[in-house]
Amino acid sequence: MMNCKQATQLLSLQQERPLSRRERFSLRFHLMMCKACRNFSTQMDSLRTISRHYAKGEHPASDDRESH
């Protein structure tokens, strides 16, 4: 069974390349059992979304502060 270190490595790696079928299955199984790694996965998704918005020049937080 996959440990948390391996799971977080795969979660990071999937940002760079598609995971193999075996890697996806092992990761999904681990995530079903491990709340900490599910939280890490959610945080990775949030960081990816924030980074994409930032790269596009979308800065909603700074726009809100300037309007007050």
User: Which of residues 10 and 57 earns the better pLDDT score?
Assistant: 10
Q: CA 35, 37, 39: angle at the middle one, nearest 5?
A: 70
Percent of the chain scoring above 90 in pLDDT? 66
How many Å apart are CA 44 and CA 13, to the nearest integer? 11
Q: Residue range 36-43: average pLDDT?
A: 97
Is the pLDDT at 67 greater than 60? The verdict is: no
Q: Could you give the percent of the chain with pLDDT greater than 70?
A: 85
Both tokens assigned to 32: 């079903």
Q: Give the pLDDT band (50/70/90) at residue 36.
A: very high
User: In this structure, are residues 62 and 34 in contact, taking their beta carbons and an 8 Å threshold?
Assistant: no
Question: Which residues are CB-neighbours of 41 under 8 A, at least 6 positions away?
Answer: 11, 31
